[in-house]
Structure 1
């Protein structure tokens, strides 16, 4: 995200380099990555809260 906001089209990470043709291509790649991250996180379906007065 920082690279995109700075207008950088070539990103290097872990010894690998990726050059995007345009901002739209980088936006699509980031959107896909975000969808993958969201898809791997477990969603909490039920939250139970329990409290007592300590008696």
Structure 2
């Protein structure tokens, strides 16, 4: 899945209000902690900026049926 600025905006909006559930394109993800959410944000941001991702998967729990 290629991340977009819209995905980064969605995760930043969730962080701003303390939500742990985020919708990305066709996926909805619920993170277990704010730490996981921040890690996901950093990975998405790095990919958008063209850096190589060094972490593992950022989805910890699939909540959608798409």
User: TM-score per shorter chain, which class?
Assistant: 0.5 to 0.7
Structural RMSD (CA): 1.5
| CA distance, structure 2, for counterparts of residue 20 and residue 6 of structure 1 | 14
Larger Rg: 1
Residue in structure 2 matching 1:26, options 37, 49, 55: 37
Structure 2: 5+ residue stretches without partners: 1-11, 52-66
Count of residue correspondences: 40
Q: Describe the SS at the equivalent of 1:17.
A: strand
Q: Which aligned segments of 4 or more residues in structure 1 are displaced greater than 3 angstroms?
A: none
Q: Describe the SS at the equivalent of 2:39.
A: helix
For normalisation by structure 1, the TM-score amounts to 0.63
For normalisation by structure 2, the TM-score amounts to 0.53
1:34-53 Cα distance to aligned partner (Å, 9 max, x none): 1101117xxxxxxxxxxxxx
Compare relative contact order (CA 8 Å, sep 6+) and give the higher one, 1 or 2.
2
